[in-house]
Amino acid sequence: MKKVILTTLFFVAVITVFYFSLGFFHLEKEMSKKSHLQNTKEMVTIKVYFSNSKKDPQTLECDKVYPVERKVPKTQTLARMALEELLKGPTQREKERGYFTNINPGVKIQSLMIKDGVVKVDFNKRLEYQVGGSCRVRAIRAQIIATLRQFPTVKKVIISVNGKTEGILQP
């Protein structure tokens, strides 16, 4: 009797291991398929505009900005994606090439709406935190506007902070 029970338990164990192995194989195959789909997601190139200390060493042209290209996943909200890339600031490699941002760290987009060629973008109050001097203010505006105006449907950009447009980024 003991031999029959042990043999039965052995076969149950083998069948269980086999069954779970098939399940893990299937799961691994599905995860691999999803990973492949994520890796093949269509990418697009956008531009992000920064100031550049090598192209304008004395910063004589405050509102002169220069594009850098970024590859991002294709999305319906490319304008927002471009602004988010701008807010990340230049990469280390871009910094080595003289690019820098005038935008404070910690600036967040609270809303972005596009209607009839007009982009209305609302930022948190960090956008204006300790921003003094007309040159820096012009540079910030130029970075935001140039980054958004790369899209042919954008004709005008309205910048606000916490919903307020009056006096925003004024020298």
107 CA to centre of own chain: 13
Which pLDDT score is estimated for 59?
73
Q: Which residue has the higher pLDDT, 15 or 170?
A: 170
Domain ranges of the chain: 1-40, 43-161
pTM of the model: 0.74
Tens-place pLDDT, residues 29-84: 555 555 444 556 899 999 999 999 999 887 778 899 999 999 999 988 999 999 99
Position 88 confidence tier, pLDDT thresholds 50, 70, 90: very high
Strand order across the 99-100 sheet: 66-73, 43-52, 99-100
